[in-house]
Amino acid sequence: MSTIRASNIAKGFGGQYIVECSTFSKLPQFTLQLGGKDYTLDAEDYILNIQGICLSGFTGVGVSESGSSIWIIGNVFLRKFYSVFDLGKNGIGFAKAL
């Protein structure tokens, strides 16, 4: 998220960012590492075009006790990756959506 903030493309307010819709090609890929595996989102995955206004699908919600930022990734992640919750084994698995 610091790369997006530093790009001067996005303007933050209330934990969300507005982006010029014409700037998708300038935005970086966003990679989450979960369980030692990389899950990459392209700008087209994490930017939501709502009637010509483009918003980041990530929402900043505060800072943890360790000082790192806390972000909700929600729908932008779950649209690209299926999730499976295994209560018996206390595990979560992900696979790329088709």
Q: For the chain, which residues make up each domain, given as ranges? A: 2-96
The reported pLDDT for the residue numbered 17 is 80
Q: Are 43 and 24 in contact (CB under 8 A)?
A: yes
Q: Are 20 and 55 in contact (CB under 8 A)?
A: no
pLDDT tens-place string over residues 28-40: 898 988 889 999 9
The model carries a pTM of 0.72
CATH number of 2-96: 2.40.70.10
Q: What is the mean pLDDT of residues 8-36?
A: 79
Q: What tokens does 31 get? A: 């990679």
pLDDT tens-place string over residues 50-79: 898 888 888 777 788 888 778 777 888 989
5 pLDDT more than 80: no
